[in-house]
Amino acid sequence: MSGDRSSYRQIFKATSIFGGVQVFNIIISILRGKIVAVLLGPSGMGIAGLLTSSTGFVQLLTSFGLRTSAVKNIAEANEQGNPEKVAQTASVFRKLVWITGLLGTLATLLFAPYLSELAFGDHSQTNSFRWLSVTLLFTQLTNGQFVMLQGMRKLQMLAKANMIGSFIGLLISAPLYYFYGIEGIVPALIIGSISAMAIAYFFGKKVTLKTTPVPKEEAIALSKDMLRMGFMISLSALITTAVAYLVRIYISNTGSIDDVGLYNAGFGILNTYVGLIFAAMGTDYYPRLAGVSNDNSKATRLINQQAEIGILILAPILSVFFIFVNWIIILLFSSEFLAIDKMIHWAALGMYFKVAGWAIAFILLAKGKSRLFFWNELISNAYSLGLNLLGYYLMGLEGLGISFLLTYALYLIQVYSLARFKFQFHFLKSFYRIFVIQTIIGVACFFMIRHLSQPLVYVTAIPVILTSFWMSYSELDKRIGLKDIIKNFRKKAKKNNGE
Q: What percentage of residues in the chain have a pLDDT greater than 90?
A: 24
Q: What pLDDT does 494 receive?
A: 64
- Mean pLDDT across 429-443: 93
pLDDT band at residue 346 under the 50/70/90 scheme: very high
User: For residue 223, is pLDDT > 90?
Assistant: no
Range ranked top by mean pLDDT from 213-217, 253-257, 367-371, 376-380? 376-380
218-222, 372-376, 409-413: which range is least confident on average? 218-222
Q: What pLDDT does 155 receive?
A: 73
Domain ranges of the chain: 21-214, 229-499
- Mean pLDDT across 468-487: 82
Average pLDDT of the chain is: 83
Q: What pLDDT does 464 receive?
A: 92
The answer to whether the Cα torsion of 350, 280, 334, 170 is positive or negative is negative
Q: What is the pTM of this model?
A: 0.80
Q: What pLDDT does 391 receive?
A: 93
User: For residue 3, is pLDDT > 60?
Assistant: no
User: For residue 448, is pLDDT > 70?
Assistant: yes
pLDDT band at residue 378 under the 50/70/90 scheme: very high
Q: How far apart are CA 229 and CA 371, in angstroms?
A: 8
38-52, 131-145, 256-270: which range is least confident on average? 38-52
Q: What pLDDT does 493 receive?
A: 59
- Mean pLDDT across 88-102: 86
- Mean pLDDT across 357-385: 89
State the DSSP code for 206. Answer: T
State the DSSP code for 122. Answer: S
pLDDT band at residue 105 under the 50/70/90 scheme: very high
Q: Are 106 and 267 in contact (CB under 8 A)?
A: no
pLDDT band at residue 390 under the 50/70/90 scheme: very high
The answer to whether the Cα torsion of 429, 433, 435, 439 is positive or negative is positive
Query: For residue 164, with 0-12 CB atoms within 10 Å meaning exposed, 13-18 middle and 19 or more buried, which class applies?
Result: middle
Q: What pLDDT does 380 receive?
A: 94
Q: How far apart are CA 79 and CA 58, in angstroms?
A: 33
Q: What pLDDT does 244 receive?
A: 82
User: For residue 2, is pLDDT > 60?
Assistant: no
User: For residue 265, is pLDDT > 70?
Assistant: yes
- Mean pLDDT across 380-407: 94
23-32, 136-145, 348-357, 410-419: which range is least confident on average? 23-32
Q: How far apart are CA 21 and CA 180, in angstroms?
A: 30
52-56, 81-85, 295-299, 366-370: which range is least confident on average? 81-85
Q: How far apart are CA 86 and CA 72, in angstroms?
A: 11
